[in-house]
Structure 1
Amino acid sequence: MTTVNLLETVGGGYGDFWRCQKRYRICKGSRGSKKSCTTALWIIYKMMQMPLANTLVTRRYFNTHKDSTFAQLKWAINKWGVKDKWKVTNSPMELTYIPTGQKILFRGFDDADSITSITVETGFLCWVWIEEAFQVTDETAFNKLDMSIRGEMPEGYFKQITMTFNPWSDKTWIKRRFFDTQDENTFAITTTYMQNEFLGDDDRQLFEQMKIRNPRRFQIEGLGDWGISEGLIYENWSIEDFDISKIMHMTDANGNRVYRRLFGLDFGFSHDPAAVIAMLGNRDQQVIYVYDEIYKVGMTNRELADEIKYKGWAGQKIKADCAEPKSIKELKDYGISRVYPCKKGADSLKAGIRRLQDYQLIIHPTCQNTIIELSNYAWDVKDGMITSKPIDDWNHLLDAMRYGSEEMTIKKFSW
């Protein structure tokens, strides 16, 4: 390996994390706290130090590895200056240390069998990295993975599960299990962007602006604090891995579909994301299933139209923010012909919230941004008291949900 200064490469603030050999190494942190980069650097470094160690990298969904953990580990290989010693394959997605044959394997919790039946050709499966662990909502699935990492280790080797995530909500089982109790097998820390000396001045300025403009968001994204559940506007929701096609095609005794497609759109660009939400609603049972979303900052209306077409929604009726008539017209010009303005009145915000509060909201686990917003959208606080006014944050997809759910108030509405 090319001679590299460990402190200069990894930076400070993670000494205890780097040296930890406990069974569970849990790191929640703010955006930009270098938790994922540090973990990737650690895996490459330690595997080259310990020739019998192999690593399993997991996320909630396998198809999210390519642009996250897979890319981060390739970055770490380059950072250490050892690109010539590692073989990278895309199918199957693997990283192999050429001198020994050790492997880094990638799996998703959406294929449970692929996680719990791992075997390695060289050495032992020692380490697991669960990135964006907040997305793993099923503690039972984690327990199955935990139990599969077993067996005696050679002298000097150890088994360890590392979890890295942003703490979007304090309702997660991870808080109860690893942060609320003391356990000699657990190392749990919180890191912030202030521990990342590699951030540019422009990056730090964004956090300083967030501290002023969005103090509640800054507590989570800047300081790594838990999302606070007190005063949440919506508590009538749950996460369920439902079969979208099955719900979509359910019929009544007369053969009529009982769930109707609903789409809502909230425009955004520079700071706020463009947000489109796809739902299935049943007015009689007062249930809304959220099954897909678009959520991205910096999209032009043409790019937004292209994304809507890619999703297959170009021909669907979409209710959009009526405050953006120019954007609505542009979307129509770009081929989204059935986008219409929502209705707004003197009390439309609270009326829309009350409407959604009357429904059971079931969110598919792929809709992570919807889950994050539901976990943090709250009534504003003034002088220490909760008010009846919502905060103007964590509400882009939820505003889109309000617009789209207007269709539920129409006596007759078609598929």
Structure 2
Amino acid sequence: MTSQKTISISKLIGGGYNKFWHNKNFYRVVKGSRGSKKSKTTALNIIYRMMKHPWANTLVVRRYSNTLKQSCYTDLKWAINQLGVKHLWKTNESLPELTYLPTGQKILFRGLDDPLKITSITVDTGILSWAWFEEAYELESEDKFRTVVESIRGSNSSPDFFKQVTVTFNPWSERHWLKRVFFDKKTQEDDTFAITTTFRVNEWLDDQDRKRYLGLYRTNPRRARIVCDGDWGIADGLVFERFKVEEFNKDEVLARVQKTAFGLDFGYTHDPTAFVAIAVDLENKKLYVFDELYETGLNNKKIADRLKAKGYQRSSIIADSSEPKSIDELKMFGLERVKGAAKGKDSIMYGIQFIENFEIIIHPSCVHFIEEINNYVYAKDREGNKLNQPIDEFNHLMDAMRYAMEQYSIRQEYNRILPPIFGGI
């Protein structure tokens, strides 16, 4: 016997998600702005439904397993506490895993970086009937998604039985496969419920949060369409068009190409500190982006600590030269080979034009780099004509890449202008 507890779901979750809460389509998809409470609502819904349906088990998926504990697992534990049923659930921090004690139903967590652990999933009680893909934009290919969906199988004689795959994400680019599969009417997957939500349905945001979101419409309208309205990033006028997201073995690539580039753009309160690590294949004109740092609120000591923890204390890092004091401090804190970018007149466009000679292959773990390159476009005049300069947004990692590649672009320019007698550089 379990004790009954009466709660008001509408008071608990607020408005904006009534259809989502009751939906039983096979695909239940929500793209939304930041602060739109989609993850918290999904967590509450899963806990509530599992306690109602004794045949249900849930698989929670993200692209990388090491991101699950601080996101979905934490949200689901929060939901258990909000529903006042902590005494009915067992938590396992090490796996992680959640078990509903009265029946033995489980919520399992897996990352797509270990596909064998997903294809071999079994449950002792009931059926693996539901899946939740959080931050689904991190999934670089539809094939990876389909592999997991195939794990949602089986049937049950219960009259209320249904299988469902819930997909939640913040949109970045209209070029992503999620748009074609779930939001374009002509190609939308059958049996799909798809909605877009915004921060406006979140009653729990405070005035400061709302003011910050609303301020973007004035200061950065293009970013506001993505961050505040949950719209797709528009790919028209992309600065870099020759790029793809593809998994690769970093060590194998580095051993083969044997050239690297590391760039750093400073930030602090509003703008992030942005660092990028690239393997450079000069012969085949390919750049392999394999690591990044993208974080606000980092002083120079913390920047140095983060990069040393990643193993870059001996790397030749090219940083924004407009902050020479910061560069000196980074050296003092152990990044002895950091130096300022040369920059100069027209350096932005020259750096962009040089990088355009390369195909850019991005490891799917570099999620912030993927977001920026998908939204880094050329500016336009009042008549909508493209200008020969990029917008001053979505450019922190793009600037870091430009600094990183400066050593190769300068070398190419000197080899072009020096006469053969000097042998270039």
Short-chain TM bin = over 0.9
Is the partner of 1:68 in helix, strand or coil?
A: helix
Counting only pairs closer than 5 Å after superposition, residues 154-173 of structure 1 correspond to structure 2 as 154-173=158-177
Structure 1 distance, partners of 2:411, 2:203, is 58
- Give the Cα separation in 1 of the matches to 2:411 and 2:393: 32
CA distance in 1, matches of 2:162, 2:373: 39
Larger displacement relative to structure 2 (138-147 or 73-82): 138-147
User: Which residue is equivalent to 1:60?
Assistant: 63
Q: 1:78 and 1:2 mapped to 2: Cα distance? A: 13
Q: Name 1:279's counterpart in structure 2.
A: 278
Give the distance between the partners of 1:54 and 1:20, measured in 2 at CA.
Answer: 17
Cα–Cα, structure 1 residues 106 and 243, in superposed 2: closer, same or farther, change >3 Å? same
Whether the 8 Å CA contact 2:267–2:274 is kept in 1: the answer is yes
State the partner residue of 1:398: 398
Kindly provide the amino acid, as one letter, of the partner of residue 21 in structure 2.
Answer: W
Give how far 1:332 is off.
Answer: 1.1
Asked if 1:28 is matched to 2:28, the reply is: no
- Counterpart for residue 198 of structure 1: 204
Residue of structure 1 in register with 2:231 after alignment:
225
**What's 1:239 paired with?**
245
Give the aligned partner of residue 326 of structure 1: 325
- Which residue identity is paired with 2:18? G
Partner letter of residue 404 of structure 2? G
What CA deviation, in whole Å up to 9, does each residue of 1:12-56 have, x standing for no partner? 000000010000000000000000000000000111111121100
Partner of 2:255: 249
Q: 1:269, CA displacement in angstroms?
A: 0.2
CA 1:122–1:215: 2 relative to 1, 3 Å: same
CA distance in 2, matches of 1:366, 1:334: 27
Secondary structure in 1 matching 2:234: coil
Q: Is 33-42 or 331-340 further displaced after alignment?
A: 331-340
Amino acid at match of 1:192: T
Q: Deviations over 1:182-222 (max 9, x none)?
A: 55510000000001111111110110121111111110010
* Partner Cα distance (2:5, 2:385) in 1: 58
Aligned residue number for residue 124 of structure 1: 127
Superposition pairs of residues 401-412 of structure 1, within 5 angstroms: 401-409=401-409, 411=411
Q: Are the counterparts in 1 of residues 181 and 189 from structure 2 also a CA contact under 8 Å? A: no
Alpha-carbon contact 2:127-2:155 (below 8 Å) kept:
no
TM-superposed CA distance for 1:118, in Å, is 1.7
Alignment of 1:65-80 (within 5 A): 65-80=68-83
Following superposition, the deviation at residue 336 of structure 1 comes to 1.0
Displacement of 1:319: 0.3
Q: How does 1:376-387 map to 2 (within 5 A)?
A: 376-382=375-381, 383-387=383-387
Describe the SS at the equivalent of 2:12: helix
Output the CA distance in 1 between the equivalents of 2:87 and 2:151: 32
- The Cα of 1:163 is off from its aligned counterpart by 0.2
Aligned residues: 405
Q: Which amino acid aligns with 1:193?
A: F
Provide the aligned C-alpha RMSD in A. Answer: 1.3
TM-score of the aligned structures, taking structure 2 as reference length: 0.93
Q: Which residue of 1 aligns with 2:419?
A: none
Q: How big is the shift at 1:147?
A: 2.2
SS in 2 for 1:129: strand
Letter in 2 for 1:403: Y
Question: What residue is the counterpart of 2:88 in the other structure?
Answer: 85
Aligned-residue offset at 1:384:
2.1
| Residue 269 of structure 2: aligned partner | 270
What residue ranges of structure 2 are gaps of 5+ in the alignment?
Answer: 413-425
Q: Residue 69 of structure 2: SS of its match in structure 1?
A: coil
Paired residues of 1:277 and 1:293 also in contact (CA < 8 A): yes
Deviation, structure 1 residue 4: 2.1
TM-score if structure 1 supplies the norm length? 0.95
User: 1:110: which partner in 2?
Assistant: 113
Q: Which amino acid aligns with 2:394?
A: W
**Equivalent position of 2:349 in the other structure:** 350
- Provide the rounded CA distance (Å) in 1 between the counterparts of 2:306 and 2:32: 31
Contact 2:351 2:409 in 1 (8 A): no
What letter corresponds to residue 394 of structure 1 in structure 2?
A: F
Matched residue SS, 2:389: strand
CA distance in 2: counterparts of 1:409 and 1:390, whole angstroms = 19
5+ residue gaps in structure 1?
251-257
SS in structure 1 at match of 2:348: helix
Report the residue type matching 1:212 in the other structure: R
Q: How does 1:8-23 map to 2 (within 5 A)?
A: 8-23=11-26
What is the rounded CA distance, in whole Å, between the counterparts of 1:298 and 1:212 in structure 2? 24
1:285 counterpart SS class: coil
Match of 1:253?
A: none
Measured in 1, the distance between the counterparts of 2:190 and 2:334 equals 59
Q: Percent identity?
A: 49
Cα distance, 1:148 vs. partner?
Answer: 2.3
- Give the stretch that moved more between structures: 150-159 or 8-17: 150-159
Moved over 4 A (4+): none
> C-alpha deviations, 1:243-280, integer Å up to 9, x for none?
11111112xxxxxxx33121000000010000110111
Quick one: distance in 2 between partners of 1:43 and 1:109?
21
Contact 1:281–1:408 (CA under 8 A) maintained in structure 2: no
1:20/1:278 CA distance change after superposition, 3 Å: same
Structure 1 partner of 2:149? 146
